[in-house]
Every structure is written in C-alpha cells, then in structure tokens.
Chains A and B, each alone.
Chain A
C-alpha cells in the first residue's frame, strides 16, 4: 500500500516544529506502525537525510516506551493498543496519516516524536514506593493477601506509564497514571500504611509538574493500552480526600 504521511519534525525542545509530508510506497498490511516508520527512516538514510526520531523499546506492547498521536488519536485508531501493536491493516491504501508526539506541557518534545516523560518518574519518586528495608525477599506467605486483592492490585499495577492518558486528555491530566500507582499500593498490606502520605505527595508532584485536572470524560480508559479502569481515579480521589481530612497538619 501507498501512504501519505504528515509527520511532526522538530530539531530540539526549544525550537518550533512543523508537519512534514512524506510519501511511502510498498507498505504491507502485516507491518506494525513502527516497522512502517523504520521503512521510512531507511529511505531517509539512503537519501542522506536525518531520520525521524521516536521512542520504542520492546515492541511487544508491554514496556510503555512507544507512543505517538496517530491521526489525532493516542496510539492510533484502535482502543487499548500501544503504537507498536498497531498494524498497517488498520489503515487504507492511499490514506493520509498524521503523526505527532504526545503533547502536554509536562511532556517535553525532545526531537520529532521523542518525548521526555520524566514528569511521570518524578511523580513515582514523590511517593510511589514503600519504605521497607531492602534485603532478601521475605517468605511469600508471611503476609496473607486474598486472591481478589492481589488481582485488583495487579490490574492497577499493569499501567506501563506510556502517557497516552495524558495525551488524550483534554486537560492533560495525569490522573489515571497517578491513580493507578496510588491504588496499586493502597490496597496491599505493605503499601496501605503510607497511603495518606503517598497520595498527598504524589498529588503535589502531579500539580508541580503542570498536569491539568481530571474532568471525568473517561477518554483515558479507552486509549490506555492496559485498559486501566477510570474507577481507579475515583478511588484515588477518595483516598486523597481521606488523607486531607485525617491529616494532622
């Protein structure tokens, strides 16, 4: 198939970018979106032009590295899919495809489609951990956890931090990401103890990074590759209010 591509090109974080047109022939429907991008880059190399830079790592849909705005949708037209798991069969021959980086003031475009999501790391650093002494792994059965609880914690922990929730949110809110991390720890006995402190710290960091508020449009759940439920946001809200009501300061 033949494609008309309009791809965001930007030299660095401080310079302004723009959409550049490319034509690509010989794309097969079996290719993943990233393989199509590789093919285009190969042609650019042969022409002696600078390649289009984009994030990617495992290409198995589990690492959370890849992420592009494809035809105005985070990770492209399919719901709950990473960019690497999107295949060219989702597009038509002769189609025009817009490719842009995930946008938010908390995500800096470093070059082309490559985005700095360090703001997510800093939210985790603010409280997304438990203050247990490290050492040998403890005996697994010493802390009883019900199967349903473990499953629920896994559902939240499945977040791969790709940033699609922020990119698709009309307010650039990091609520789904932060909520997933907060709830994951809050429902397990090891993480429960520090919930109040953790929620407060992560909310403060989320705001300091410049993410917007959540207005419950639920778009994030649709675009999330892991299908993290928006009910985690509700629980995160509950835990935040609880932490504020019970706080001693």
Chain B
C-alpha cells in the first residue's frame, strides 16, 4: 500500500473539526456569561466581576482554559498546514475562474475569515484577558477586580465598537460554514440528521453572533 507522507489530510480535517467544535462550545459559555452585561449598571458590576473571579479561580475552569488555548493554536496551525497543502494541490491557476458561482463565498474564504478573527482575538485578549490576568486593576466594593469598568470604558469609543462588530461579523460567517462543515467532517451522513444539523448550525450562528454583536452596541448606547 502506498503511504501518504505524514499525517493524512483526513486526519488534519478531523482535528480541525474537533478543535473547532470545542471552540464552539466555549463560545456558548462565553456569550451566556457576558449576558450579565445587560443587567442594570450596579448589579451588572457586582455580578460580572464575581463571575470573572469565579472563572479565574476555579481549577476545572483553569484546566479547560488550557485546552482552549491549545485548541486555538492547533486550529490555526492545522489551518496553515492544510492551506499550504491546498496551494500545492491546486498547481497552475485558471486564467478565467468562475468556480465561485456554485458555492457560498464564506465557505471558500474560511482562511481569510479565520485570519480576521485571529487578529481580532489578539486585540480582544490584550485588552481584557491580559489586563485581568497580568495587570493591577482597581477593585470594586466587594474587593473583586473591576473588569466591568474596563469593559464599559472600552466600548465608549465608536471606532472600537466598529472594530468589534467587524470582527464578530467575520466570526459569524466563519461559524456559519465551520459548524456545519465540522459535523460533516465528523461523518454525519444520514439525510434526516444532516437537515437537522444545518438548521442547528444556522440557529447556533445567529444566537452566538447576534448575542455578541449586541453587547458593544448596548454598552455604547446606554452610557
């Protein structure tokens, strides 16, 4: 039997799907936690700061967070490997190319969308995650780090809100194809459940994306 050099593209795809779906689960937790931002200001401050502290002190959450960092890194590295393989597989380019007419644009541009999300993630982690973990923050009335104030003040700037909306829109389209594609890669082939999976992918994407997109806008308008 001829052996392909190294890991097969099928195996890479499986890891892309598994890490991607894990990140999808994380987004559900993230959007649910962030819903606390919609509470009345003073209540939101106490709730949100309590929740942040709970997450950063819990050992189980800590373990999961390391899996999360690893998943992001693996997802990016495997995407780069597959993208390089794809370049090689494509060979000579078509002089006139209209192949895009038969597939949705976002399904063909997962790499571009992923890159936008990655850049967005750097800004996002630097402004909140890094600040919370590695810098001295003012404390609230309960003596907890006041992440709420950091979040609220960040979204006072219109350009920053726009930056978030663009990043989240990219995330939305990435999820719209990614969620469904991951399930396909895992091997769900029964027509009945495939239909259900497509429906779930749409519902999931709408809830997550619109949920996140509403947050910066709400904070900007209500302050």
Query: Known contacts A215-B107, A238-B189: does B13 contact A207 (CB below 8 Å)?
Result: no
Judge whether A217 and B108 touch: CB under 8 Å. Answer: yes
Interface: B5 (CB within 8 A): yes
1/0 per position for B156-190, CB-CB distance to A under 8 A? 00000000000000000000010011001111110
Interface: A120 (CB within 8 A): no
Judge whether B95 and A216 touch: CB under 8 Å. Answer: no
Judge whether A231 and B90 touch: CB under 8 Å. Answer: no
Which residues does chain B contribute within 8 Å of A206, judged by CB atoms? 4, 9
Judge whether A213 and B96 touch: CB under 8 Å. Answer: no
Interface: A237 (CB within 8 A): yes
Which residues does chain B contribute within 8 Å of A242, judged by CB atoms? 187
> Roughly how many angstroms separate A72 CA and B52 CA in the complex, as a whole number?
52
Query: Known contacts A212-B90, A231-B194: does B186 contact A237 (CB below 8 Å)?
Result: yes
Query: Known contacts A201-B1, A219-B102, A234-B188: does B96 contact A170 (CB below 8 Å)?
Result: no
A residues 197-229 near B (Cβ < 8 Å) are 200-201, 203-208, 210-219, 222-223
Interface: B10 (CB within 8 A): yes
- Interface-forming stretch among A35-43, A55-63, A103-111? A103-111
Query: Known contacts A73-B102, A204-B8, A237-B184: does B177 contact A216 (CB below 8 Å)?
Result: yes
Judge whether B13 and A103 touch: CB under 8 Å. Answer: no
Query: Known contacts A171-B89, A231-B191: does B107 contact A203 (CB below 8 Å)?
Result: no
Which residues does chain A contribute within 8 Å of B13, judged by CB atoms? 213-214, 237
Judge whether B4 and A105 touch: CB under 8 Å. Answer: no
Interface: A6 (CB within 8 A): yes
Judge whether B107 and A213 touch: CB under 8 Å. Answer: no
> Roughly how many angstroms separate A105 CA and B194 CA in the complex, as a whole number?
32
B residues 83-104 near A (Cβ < 8 Å) are 85-86, 88-99, 101-104
Which residues does chain B contribute within 8 Å of A105, judged by CB atoms? 88-91
Q: Which of A207, A219, A239 contacts B187 (CB 8 A)?
A: A239
Interface: B14 (CB within 8 A): yes
Judge whether B184 and A104 touch: CB under 8 Å. Answer: no
Among residues of B, the one whose C-beta sits closest to the C-beta of A179 is B189
Interface: B152 (CB within 8 A): no
Which residues does chain B contribute within 8 Å of A83, judged by CB atoms? none
Query: Known contacts A104-B91, A171-B89, A237-B185: does B102 contact A216 (CB below 8 Å)?
Result: no
Which residues does chain A contribute within 8 Å of B184, judged by CB atoms? 216, 230, 233-234, 237
Among residues of B, the one whose C-beta sits closest to the C-beta of A106 is B89
Q: Is the interface of B mostly helix, strand, loop or mixed?
A: helix
Query: Known contacts A212-B86, A213-B85: does B189 contact A235 (CB below 8 Å)?
Result: yes
Judge whether A231 and B9 touch: CB under 8 Å. Answer: no
Which residues does chain A contribute within 8 Å of B14, judged by CB atoms? 237, 241
> Roughly how many angstroms separate A206 CA and B10 CA in the complex, as a whole number?
10
Which residues does chain B contribute within 8 Å of A172, judged by CB atoms? 86, 89-91
Which residues does chain A contribute within 8 Å of B8, judged by CB atoms? 203-204, 207
Judge whether B10 and A237 touch: CB under 8 Å. Answer: yes
Which residues does chain A contribute within 8 Å of B101, judged by CB atoms? 73
Which residues does chain A contribute within 8 Å of B133, judged by CB atoms? none
Q: Which of A72, A205, A208, A233 contacts B5 (CB 8 A)?
A: A208
Which residues does chain B contribute within 8 Å of A168, judged by CB atoms? 99, 102
> Roughly how many angstroms separate A101 CA and B107 CA in the complex, as a whole number?
25
Q: Which of B2, B88, B181, B188 contacts A126 (CB 8 A)?
A: B2
> Roughly how many angstroms separate A42 CA and B137 CA in the complex, as a whole number?
82
1/0 per position for B131-153, CB-CB distance to A under 8 A? 00000000000000000000000
Given A105-B88, A231-B191, output 20 extra A-B contacts at Cβ < 8 Å. A8-B95, A72-B96, A72-B99, A103-B93, A104-B89, A105-B89, A126-B2, A170-B108, A171-B89, A172-B90, A203-B10, A204-B4, A207-B10, A211-B9, A215-B181, A216-B181, A216-B184, A234-B187, A237-B10, A242-B187
Q: List 17 A-B contacts (CB under 8 A).
A: A6-B95, A19-B95, A71-B96, A168-B99, A172-B89, A172-B90, A204-B1, A204-B8, A213-B85, A215-B110, A215-B181, A216-B180, A216-B181, A216-B184, A219-B102, A237-B187, A240-B187
B residues in contact (CB < 8 Å) with A? 1-5, 8-14, 82, 85-86, 88-99, 101-104, 107-108, 110, 177, 180-181, 184-189, 191, 194
